[in-house]
Amino acid sequence: MPIREISVRNVNISDDFWSSRQAIVTEVTIPYMEKILRDEVPEARKSHAVSNFRMAAGEESGEFYGMVFQDSDVAKWLEAAAYSLFLKPDHALAERVDELVALIGRSQQEDGYLNTYFTVREPGNRWKNLLECHELYCAGHMIEAGVALHEAAGKDDLLRICIRLADHICDRFEKEEGIPGHQEIEIGLLRLFHATGNARYRDMALRFLDLRGKDPEWFIKHTPQHPGIHYGGYDIDPADTVYNQSDVPVREQTAARGHAVRQLYMLAAMADAAAETGDQALLNACMRLFDNITQKQMYVTGAVGSSAYHEAFTVDYDLPPDRCYGETCASVAMVFFAHNMIRNDPDGRFADLMELELYNAALAGMQLDGKRFFYVNPLEVDTSVCGKVPGYEHVLPQRPPWHDCACCPPNLARLIASLGRYLWSEDGDTIYSHLWIGSEAATRFGRIRMEGGYPWQGKIGYTIMDGGTFTLAIHIPGHVKKYSLQVNYHAEEYPVRNGYVYIRRAWQAGDMVLLHFEMAVRRLHADVHVRSCTGKTALARGPFIYCFEESDQAGRLSSVSLPSDAEIDAVSAFPGLPQETVCLSMKGNADLFPGSQYSPDMPKQVPCLLKAIPYYSWANRSPGNMLVWIREQP
């Protein structure tokens, strides 16, 4: 039996940190987004996404409105709603989901085709422009929603619609060549394969992966001229094959390049396909890109895609903190990629990456109240330039209420609502626990409960609820360098492999595993190749990366530095932050203005108190300057 995730339906989360975030998503974010999709929030930008389906079903008249991929907002919301229905049964929501699914069904064409843009606006141009038109992308998201409703909410209507859609896609693209302009259908088809067992969908996903990059001129040859029509809201150049990773066959790619979300959705699908097929060349490519991203192209918060231009990876070590793009969707996609890599190899690096993204770059995308979202997640903000000066237009000091391209908010909502998927896996004789998030999993060896003080405190525990002879493999986060392990209050030693401690026993019901570890503040230092970080440190504690907001400091952020020997105290939450938050306090120095723009005098340093907060919680009080990397004085 290969390694499989334990289904979201078999995992009940009960966690001090995440349960409240899931509650916000179910109670605030999902209802708020639904209103936006239905254009019921006057102060938010127009969405029209539900109306587009009504028009495609012939039940409303008017013009299609929005991005060519507007349908995907509905799909991602449905996926989030599916998990929400599992987390918190809600009859009224379930009815509205059913109605929306029925509407989607009525908008589906006879032959299974499903896309409101083309149905409403260009029925004659279906499947003619794969580079820009996002039909396969929208289909992939719809299929993911269909699978999620089936798995998490026991609702199969959308799954049936999606099977017709997938069959329509297979009918067409099994014969004819096609490369998705924006990867995503591959993820959807693989999930549909997992849900239905129908190998046709797996093979179709593999065919899409195999064709990509085989002929680097494919998009040049197959993209129609369309003067004046901007399907993606802007022109995509068919010759820019790096942008959508179609310049080189996927198995031969060596570094992450181009549009980050395209790259990462592709990698998530490749990792899933490799686990399914045992294709070593595919897995090797995944490993190369995982290493490239995490060792050379990732910010310390987990943010990826450093360039606003094309929302893209650029070159190794190009990680400017203040012009960082770091799209929320890219960090969400990093979780998908890492999660699928675990199926190939339960290596702690993958779980570590999931943890980093979940507690930092991805989570920062959402305001604490669940109502506003960042698309861009910088590591340094200077309000004198951000949002204004060229090169900083994309960087904002505050989460906006909604976005013209609204991909990130529902992406984050579905991730948080489906968090249970990412916690546990199992194979023939092992239960894997990847993340220390309080939960009870129904495994093939019965129920296991995980609970504890993480992420704020250094103790966690597992309780075996039913018992049996099996291995419990617990991931020890990479940042936990020392811990003590007890089984039933006796200290024990067990083998550790690649970041997991493997405890094999004949478990009795009520057996307990306890782990204690120090939650020290860590000072992180970057590779010297990262120009923008040398001589600086980033603070971390547990899974959290910290940042400094100017409003907490006595002086300007640009003036402060931290002596390398300064003690850093974990302190209780600063006013305005949730009370469980562990903040940091330390003695640093502030440079005083030396007198003129460029002065031969050394700036005078005055001692000052410095305060840091977890990165995900920034921009929740008064908007202002922020930085993650602080100058460190040796």
Beta carbon of residue 545, minimum distance to a second copy (angstroms, whole number): 9
Q: Which is nearer to a second copy, 230 or 481 (CB)?
A: 481
Question: Tokens 């799209």 belong to which residue?
Answer: 327
Which residues, including other chains, have CB under 8 Å from residue 309's CB and lie 6 or more apart?
A: none
Q: Which is nearer to a second copy, 87 or 308 (CB)?
A: 308
What are the beta bridge partners of residue 563?
A: 633
Point out which residues bind a second copy (CB under 8 A). Answer: 294-296, 298, 300, 307-310, 314-318, 322-323, 380, 382, 384-385, 388-391, 479, 522-531, 534-535, 538, 556, 558-559, 561, 564, 591-594, 596-603, 605, 631, 633-634
Question: Cβ distance 353 to 302 under 8 Å?
Answer: yes
Q: Which is nearer to a second copy, 140 or 320 (CB)?
A: 320
Residue 574 amino acid letter: F
How many Cα atoms are found within 13 Å in the side-chain-facing hemisphere of 491? 3
Beta carbon of residue 594, minimum distance to a second copy (angstroms, whole number): 5
| C-alpha 483, offset from chain centre | 29
Structure tokens at 613: 């907060």
Q: State which H helix or E strand residue 475 sits in.
A: strand 467-475
Count of Cβ atoms closer than 10 Å to residue 624 Cβ: 17
63 an active-site residue?
no
Which residues, including other chains, have CB under 8 Å from residue 156's CB and lie 6 or more apart?
A: 149, 150
Q: Which is nearer to a second copy, 142 or 334 (CB)?
A: 334
What are the beta bridge partners of residue 11?
A: 441
Catalytic residue among 138, 407, 408, 583: 407
Beta carbon of residue 270, minimum distance to a second copy (angstroms, whole number): 22
344 vs 64: CA distance, rounded Å: 42
5 vs 421: CA distance, rounded Å: 7
Question: Cβ distance 473 to 433 under 8 Å?
Answer: yes
478 vs 348: CA distance, rounded Å: 7
Could you tell me which of 281, 271, 226 has the C-alpha nearest to residue 248? 281
Q: Which is nearer to a second copy, 234 or 598 (CB)?
A: 598
Beta carbon of residue 595, minimum distance to a second copy (angstroms, whole number): 9
Question: Cβ distance 199 to 174 under 8 Å?
Answer: no
Q: Which is nearer to a second copy, 74 or 480 (CB)?
A: 480
138 an active-site residue?
no
Beta carbon of residue 534, minimum distance to a second copy (angstroms, whole number): 5
Q: State which H helix or E strand residue 187 sits in.
A: helix 185-196
Could you tell me which of 370, 380, 275 has the C-alpha nearest to residue 321? 380
User: Which 8-state DSSP code applies to residue 366?
Assistant: B
Beta carbon of residue 382, minimum distance to a second copy (angstroms, whole number): 6
Catalytic residue among 311, 357, 380, 550: 311
Q: Which is nearer to a second copy, 352 or 552 (CB)?
A: 352
Question: Cβ distance 191 to 275 under 8 Å?
Answer: no
Beta carbon of residue 504, minimum distance to a second copy (angstroms, whole number): 31
Active site residues: 311, 407
